[in-house]
Amino acid sequence: MTPAEGWVDVPGGRVRYWSYGESGDGRAPLLCLHGGPGAPHDYLLPFSELADERRVVFYDQLGCGESEKPDDRSLWTVERFMDELSAVRDALELERMHLFGSSWGGMLAMQYVLDRGRLPLTLSMAGSPASSPRWNEICQELLDEMPAEEREEIERLEDEGKMESPEYEEAMMPFYTRHVCRLDPWPDFVVRSFDRMATPIYHYMAGPSEFRIIGTLREWDVMDRLGEIRVPTLVSGGEYDECRPAHLREIHERIPGSRLEIIPDGSHLCFAERPEIYMPMFRGFLAEHD
């Protein structure tokens, strides 16, 4: 399906959007938020298959993908990304909609639902932590579980400050193929997101290491506020997700009435790895709350 596409003016610049399909029979649109921060929307394209029954909208957040890329660190705040989300909703007339976020996109979605008062019909997250300190704990657990040779090589390169080197990327691949995307080979749409990662934003907000959030998001934590979320919520992730099922369960238990789905043999990109399981489940969740 060929999407409609265009630009939206947001605080700090313009973002590119893609809109697939039309919503009919009372089915509300779905707005998808990508991760990173700084990973363009390409890896979320499996959700475009839902456009056979509702409108599905993607956009590249400011600073990455096909959106404008201003060189201004003051723009990379959770508050501005929430303002950006509101601007996209206004421009594309998405007042009545479902909101989905992957990884960082789910973090942004949780904060938006908690703080902005413009509630979507539903909130859905895949592989999204509710706490940066908790993320650091669970990723350290995954690092400790790696074979000694792989773990020691990663730690050596981090100690030497080589986290932006090809060596480090190579050393990280065993972790990525276990806990980020278990498909072999990776689909083109996943490769495109990795290849076009906006590393300046990612390093500034998260940090150069996948295992530790040490950037401006290092203290971000909404665990104690999850009980305030009052929209139907889907918490999902993969069996081998770097956002471990134990943490996803913690989130689910704190959000009243939420639904938890752990996708077998899936990881961080479980919706791309196991679409035959994820998409029917997700379709049903959205339809239940249209």
Looking at the DSSP bridge assignments, the partners of residue 262 are: 237
Report whether pLDDT(1) > 80.
no
Q: Examine the residue annotation and report whether 289 is marked as an active-site residue of this protein.
A: no
- For the segment 78-99, what is each residue's pLDDT rounded down to a tens digit? 999 999 999 999 999 999 999 9
Structure tokens at 230: 């009052």
17-26, 31-40, 112-121, 233-242: least confident range: 17-26
77-91, 207-221, 253-267: least confident range: 207-221
Q: Examine the residue annotation and report whether 268 is marked as an active-site residue of this protein.
A: yes
Average pLDDT over residues 221-230: 98
Q: Examine the residue annotation and report whether 71 is marked as an active-site residue of this protein.
A: no
Asked if 36 and 104 touch (Cβ cutoff 8 Å), the reply is yes
Structure tokens at 82: 């929430």
Task: Spell out the alpha helix ranges (H) of the chain.
Answer: 78-91, 104-115, 132-145, 148-159, 166-179, 188-195, 199-205, 245-254, 270-273, 275-288
Looking at the DSSP bridge assignments, the partners of residue 8 are: 15
Report whether pLDDT(24) > 90.
no
Asked if 218 and 245 touch (Cβ cutoff 8 Å), the reply is no
Confidence of residue 23 (pLDDT cuts 50, 70, 90): confident
Please report, for the chain, how many H helices and E strands are present, in that order: 10, 8
Report the chain's mean pLDDT, rounded to a whole number.
96
Structure tokens at 142: 């995954």
- For the segment 130-181, what is each residue's pLDDT rounded down to a tens digit? 999 999 999 889 989 999 999 999 989 988 988 888 898 899 999 999 999 9
Question: Domain 4-138+186-288, what architecture?
Answer: 3-Layer(aba) Sandwich (3.40)
**CA–CA separation, 142 and 66 (whole Å):** 33
Sheet holding 30-33: strands in order across? 4-10, 13-20, 56-59, 30-33, 98-102, 122-126, 233-238, 259-263
The active-site residue, picked from 41, 98, 241, 247, is: 241
Task: Express as a percent the part of the chain with pLDDT over 70.
Answer: 100
The active-site residue, picked from 48, 67, 102, 103, is: 103
